[in-house]
A and B are shown apart, each in its own frame.
Chain A
């Protein structure tokens, strides 16, 4: 793994702290809201992994595209989707970024080219290939960033996609969020070779393993990789070594890992370690930290209020969004039966 850069400007340090805290605190709130049954269905928290989204996504240009998984709240927030729209989506309200139809696992936003929220493991990789292919064919100087968990590496679609990206030299940044578990299956129990970045190398893709708990390392690696993609028109691959502190989803009793392991990883928390480092270097003060917390808390409070005040889509709209709106688009709902002739 690359050496850790150690110095960071006050401005950059504060920004990273704020970004990661916004994700963390928002998701802590989500867990609470789940308990209150405001958020339903599946809810997968990113807590512990914030450095990845916070380190990569701010390096993107406005025209770049992002493809993510069902654990994508942080990515959506970093991409600039408002917390209001994210929370409203998790409530299932019309004001949500997917109009309420998608929920937590399916956050979308065309404005920021945030292409979901895919809940089929590895399902996003071929999509990212296609987005990049379209850019290449249309000579658009854009990059597609594709986030996925290490569980996806066992799927055929992962290998097929990496091969295509390399074969066609597509501008894709693959970001594997290796948090060591796919639900309850530890990486070593699912992969014969656990150095995931080496798999990408085997396809001839420039590939690096990165300390995903350190936002600076993540950011440096992302910047280098994006530069390479933009200048050389090739794909690149980053294996982010990270860890999820919470259960896989709200249904997971966590029988497959030791509490001590979780505790050890918590020592590497990307937020507390950065905060400690910046304080030790006397780049930031306790007042700065308090101010950041306050900013995040205020944003969350407003977002919850926004989601609460949002509206349920009328049931009459059920058949919407299946096809482009047109005369031919609507299949009649279960029609009545024929009545007898008089």
Chain B
């Protein structure tokens, strides 16, 4: 079936709401407004106010309430409009959701699913363009996933809801309008393993979420000059699937991490470190990364685009790693 990423996530939520009484959606403007990114549009009519619950602008309170409801036996999907606003509920996520199981000696679990939009690229300026996935991926007790394909957008929610621990799903805003063909039988996908989205022998491009599109385009571009890039889609940002990453890097002997987070302390840095710990002697070239420049995202398009990872930067970085300066 042909559908957009937005529709795929909506279908996943609809299915979850139909199949499990304990599931409900809550967040700012998920009901009457239809969702800030129109992901939940129509669900209010179908499931009613109890289960499609509009909240006031109280991120800390409603995320905390989602955590509490999960503790109390429900399976909440809490939509935090965007990662930018999740900073107002960072405390609840890091100090409560992530810690309860551990602090209680395993007695309590928090099966909450938090969904949030992430990423830049729409000229929304510095406060509305963050990619802070790596902050959450830093925290033990959380599972962090990022769909990059239509199948994953459709299938990851179900696995997330089945997880007994808190899961954060990062949805890159640039994906929602993308369309694709979704096989009929996809309602669940693997979230524990990274996926090889393109095979190649010369260099591994490791990415996730909104940047898979750019990495694949870069791989196509490189292929024109005979460079076969392997593209790894992480899917899970915590835990990281070291095995898939290392298998690829041992084969290609070169790797570039692509990450919309800022350069310093990025997820790219973490992955690079793991590779050097576990595959240093398999490498033929220094590891490299393409990240966002260390500047708050500027409003004008030309500056914003200059700050973000681009197909051209990935391509030239790959040539640099391969020693083919152009």
Contact = CB atoms under 8 A, between A and B. Distances in A.
Interface of A: 40-42, 92-93, 100-103, 105-106, 118-123, 151-152, 154-157, 182-186, 189-191, 252-253, 255-256, 312-313, 315, 317-322, 331, 333-334, 336-338, 340
Nearest to A333: B293
Given A42-B124, A189-B54, A334-B289, A92 B33 contact: no
Nearest to B89: A156
A106 B125 contact: yes
B263 A41 contact: no
A148 to B, nearest CB: 11
B128 A152 contact: no
A102 B307 contact: no
Do most interface residues of chain B lie in helix, strand or loop, or is the interface mixed? loop
A256 B32 contact: yes
Contacts of B29: 183-185
A318 B127 contact: no
Contacts of B88: 120, 155-157
Nearest to A251: B36
Contacts of B323: 340
Contacts, number: 141
Given A184-B29, A185-B28, A315 B60 contact: no
Interface in B272-317: 285-291, 293-296, 298-303, 306-307
A41 B123 CA distance: 5
B302 A315 contact: yes
Interface string B53-84: 01111111100000000000000000000001
Nearest to B55: A190
A92 B294 contact: no
Contacts of B298: 100-101, 318
Contacts of A337: 285-288, 320-321
A226 to B, nearest CB: 28
B197 interface: no
Interface string B125-153: 11110000000000000000000000000
A54 B44 CA distance: 39
B264 interface: yes
**Chain B interface residue bracket vs A:** 35 or more
A101 B299 contact: yes
B274 to A, nearest CB: 18
B73 to A, nearest CB: 25
Interface in B218-244: none
B320 A155 contact: no
A337 B288 CA distance: 7
A119 B293 contact: no
A100 B57 contact: no
Interface of B: 28-29, 32-34, 36, 54-61, 84-85, 87-88, 122-128, 263-264, 285-291, 293-296, 298-303, 306-307, 320-321, 323
Contacts of B320: 336-337
A103 B32 contact: no
Contact of B56 (A42, A185, A313, A321): A185
A101 B124 CA distance: 11
9 contacts: A105-B127, A106-B125, A120-B88, A152-B57, A183-B36, A186-B32, A253-B34, A322-B296, A337-B287
A156 B127 contact: no
Contacts of A121: 57, 85
Contacts of A334: 263, 289-291, 293
Given A41-B122, A154-B58, A319 B286 contact: no
Contacts of B294: 319, 322, 331, 333
A154 B57 contact: yes
A278 B34 CA distance: 43
Given A92-B299, A154-B56, A256 B285 contact: no
A255 B84 contact: no
Nearest to B263: A334
A41 B303 CA distance: 14
B100 to A, nearest CB: 21
Given A120-B127, A183-B29, A322-B294, A156 B299 contact: no
B306 A190 contact: no
B85 A40 contact: no
A42 B128 contact: yes
A155 B84 CA distance: 15
A184 B56 CA distance: 11
Contact of A41 (B56, B264, B291, B299): B299
A83 to B, nearest CB: 18
Nearest to A191: B56
* Residue from A40, A122, A186, A320 whose CB has the most chain B CB atoms within 10 Å: A40
A105 B129 CA distance: 13
A130 B210 CA distance: 38
A122 B289 CA distance: 36
Given A100-B299, A156-B58, A322-B294, 14 more contacts: A102-B126, A102-B299, A103-B300, A119-B128, A154-B56, A156-B60, A157-B88, A184-B34, A190-B54, A312-B300, A318-B293, A319-B294, A321-B295, A334-B289
A184 B125 contact: no
Contacts of A318: 293, 295, 298, 303, 306-307
B29 to A, nearest CB: 5
